[in-house]
Structure 1
């Protein structure tokens, strides 16, 4: 028996434990680093599973102790010093299905159900999850496999039921910095009277997720009961989806998928739709930005993705409409939670200097969602959305929802360090690299530091002179400031040419 000790290490959605190399149990039973073990207090208890690490430092764990990472300690839910027993864990049964996928075979419904269940129960290490993701990406997923994976992910957690025939939602597949349209659309739609209970994600590799930006204004860690109360009263809300435990297997897969820079089509569709179905949505608008530095580069690829979304949505009885938008540059001016929240509130409060591209795109998307309402004629949604925004009703609705979720007090408005990136030559802006802009904002400290990020001063089509400010970097820590400015100086995010670019619709293709 070993005494448990919290070592307060965040291993991000993976149970990890630490055993001293000189522990007699390790010596006699030949426990090895990175093997999976079972931990229980009593013999007949349901054990938790974890990946074993071996340490040599008694300041971390003594020879009679078992150190637990933050997540493992929370899951075991016992006090410091409680004695536990450990044993080698049996390999997950579903691993055989992963081997089949690695060999290029097609998996069935039961295979995906077993895989998702074992992942949820921490029977997979991150290496094994990575093997599953790479196999699915390399071999590809058939349409039926995507359906089976989506269904298994939905069934891995809770499913909300709002008791109404029309529950709307909107999702952008991502890749465009500052594209915070959801925070403008939701209060417009709720002010119209349609139900839009929005659960959103936090950023993993991007400078801000919708939940990160909303958290600047209001609390987003809401219980399901509180979510229901807010929606019942205000017809909308915007919370972090992790609290509601909707399709939790998807969250685990994402934390392995994103650092590998993987975003396979099948996984993308299953990830998005599993969350929406679990959230109780009946009608969904999907925004696919298309551009050279967006996730989708060509219209043909966007068309294929739209057909896949519609096919899987039909199998679940989910009404889906897909729009293609211009992904050639960021949307809005601010990149980073605090700066994006500023842009959103400028649009909602009808301020003169609010970013026009964010306002216009939000209105067009909101208009499409309003047309899910059978009482709204096709083509009338935009006008209704614009009237709701300009009348101030959307701003009032957002303020009501912020109060209901719990208003956040803004303690600091400006970062300590700032740096202007200047045009190296005169000309017209032809393109802005979304990935480079995201990288600079992330290096500056976003989204962890809410006030860090980038302010864009010029957009595609603008004429600039040599020395004009293209964008400003904000950082609150000197090290982040150095990383961000060095990257910006070595990697030009703006493409300038002497000729004026061809004008086109800046919002939809």
Structure 2
């Protein structure tokens, strides 16, 4: 007879990693030889999952005849109060040997990547397995054929959206440039021009805000595929979180592991971006690559290499792709963090007199380039058309209509805690370190705390007096503000001022 334990919900959010908690004196732990971090198969009625074991000390909150499940494990099993489940050792995942082979430098084919993706989605691989896979693929360890194979495996593991014979435009920025929140503006312009633009975005991986984080400040983004389709059919465009859809679903698992590692693999970036674009039904895709010494793409050579890989994989998938190389020397706009970036987006859409000039110009450049990609376009007229939709208010109206269709618009809020960082001496602002200013915003609480971040008060080229405010720290709690302030004050060169000449 199979031994069972009563299931209880721990209420612990482990995101997408199923976790089970058992007391150290549990008879099943002893008889099966389960120890902390053991992978365990849990069977309940006609469902089963594989979870990672965390062991609870004797006399703690869990009874010896109970097993507690994390939020994701409880939901995956469809467990209910009073259920009993069986526990056993799972079969070793077939893809573990593929990960090991890749770690030792072997080449994988699409079947190998498909196996890894399948085992990832079925929770057969632990976070250690996934970290090994992500690391084994980093540092240009995938060749072109492998990148195509991984991209196809990721795309085919989920559902795809079909928009018939329509031209479907899309864009993606490779990132690394704080405040570069052009996408909501570009979507509004392109949809106002009459094209389909079903934009799905990730939450931030290593940045203070992703497009989904910023958009969520203004409207719901966790839509399913049916709701996404309704919004696009009604308004031509949407801005939703891709993690709530089954479009290239393994990507969210890889991102979850990449986030604490704090790096992005170039080839996995290509697979991530293009698998999602293909799954969303895009026909024409524009890739924005900001280039600068503290951006994600640091040199013209790196941009060229990334562009070649993106173009070759896009061609293999049947996507029409164009590259847009942009200035990555400094942050864009004033806000760095979800709510602060949302305020900049709205200022541009509303044609406010104090709207960030650089954010407006970049959004128009990208929207114009994207409009020029359309098969029926008069090439070279895209930016003029884009500006007409923005200046007339048509883009603002379209954005508000998209927000309403997604569940309703709301104005961004402001942080309760704010403090100014002032110039230590007079001089001209010559540089802003993208990575360190982004780190300050993250230490202040962004993107988890939506109103947290940094608000820049100066731009490169400005002349500063000693004591003049350079930027503001925004946080929701005094502790987070103090944490970010301590780091900001310990750093030199976040903002570089030339010495004033007396």
Which TM-score band (shorter chain)? over 0.9
8 A contact 1:23–1:64 mirrored in 2:
yes
Alignment of 1:1-20 (within 5 A): 1-20=4-23
Q: TM-score, normalised by structure 2?
A: 0.96
Shift of 1:413: 3.2
Match of 2:36 in 1: 33
Give deviations 1:45-83, integer Å, cap 9, x for gaps: 342111111111444321101110110011011112211
Match of 1:507 in 2: none
Give deviations 1:283-342, integer Å, cap 9, x for gaps: 100011111111111101100110110000000000110111111111111111111111
Shift of 1:244: 1.4
Match of 2:104 in 1: 103
Give deviations 1:124-155, integer Å, cap 9, x for gaps: 00001111111122570010000010111111
Give deviations 1:382-438, integer Å, cap 9, x for gaps: 11101110011101111111111122445x833222111111122222211111111
8 A contact 1:102–1:139 mirrored in 2:
no
Match of 2:414 in 1: 414
Match of 1:373 in 2: 374
Q: For structure 1, which segment, 280-289 or 437-446, has the greater mean C-alpha deviation from structure 2 after superposition?
A: 437-446
Match of 1:461 in 2: 461
Secondary structure at the counterpart of residue 62 of structure 2:
coil
Which runs of no fewer than 5 residues in structure 1 stay unpaired? 501-509
CA 1:251–1:413 in 2, change beyond 3 Å: closer, same or farther?
A: closer
Q: TM-score, normalised by structure 1?
A: 0.95
- Once residues 258 and 85 of structure 2 are traced to their aligned partners in structure 1, the CA distance between those partners, rounded to angstroms, is 33
CA 1:263–1:233 in 2, change beyond 3 Å: closer, same or farther?
A: same
Match of 1:495 in 2: 496
Secondary structure at the counterpart of residue 258 of structure 1:
helix
- Once residues 329 and 366 of structure 1 are traced to their aligned partners in structure 2, the CA distance between those partners, rounded to angstroms, is 21
Secondary structure at the counterpart of residue 169 of structure 1:
strand
- Once residues 32 and 242 of structure 2 are traced to their aligned partners in structure 1, the CA distance between those partners, rounded to angstroms, is 42
- Once residues 343 and 396 of structure 1 are traced to their aligned partners in structure 2, the CA distance between those partners, rounded to angstroms, is 17
- Once residues 329 and 123 of structure 1 are traced to their aligned partners in structure 2, the CA distance between those partners, rounded to angstroms, is 42
Alignment of 1:308-347 (within 5 A): 308-347=309-348
- Once residues 208 and 131 of structure 1 are traced to their aligned partners in structure 2, the CA distance between those partners, rounded to angstroms, is 26
Match of 2:394 in 1: 393
- Once residues 133 and 389 of structure 1 are traced to their aligned partners in structure 2, the CA distance between those partners, rounded to angstroms, is 41
Match of 1:475 in 2: 475
CA 1:387–1:65 in 2, change beyond 3 Å: closer, same or farther?
A: same
Match of 1:224 in 2: 225
Match of 1:361 in 2: 362
CA 1:233–1:86 in 2, change beyond 3 Å: closer, same or farther?
A: same
- Once residues 286 and 278 of structure 1 are traced to their aligned partners in structure 2, the CA distance between those partners, rounded to angstroms, is 16
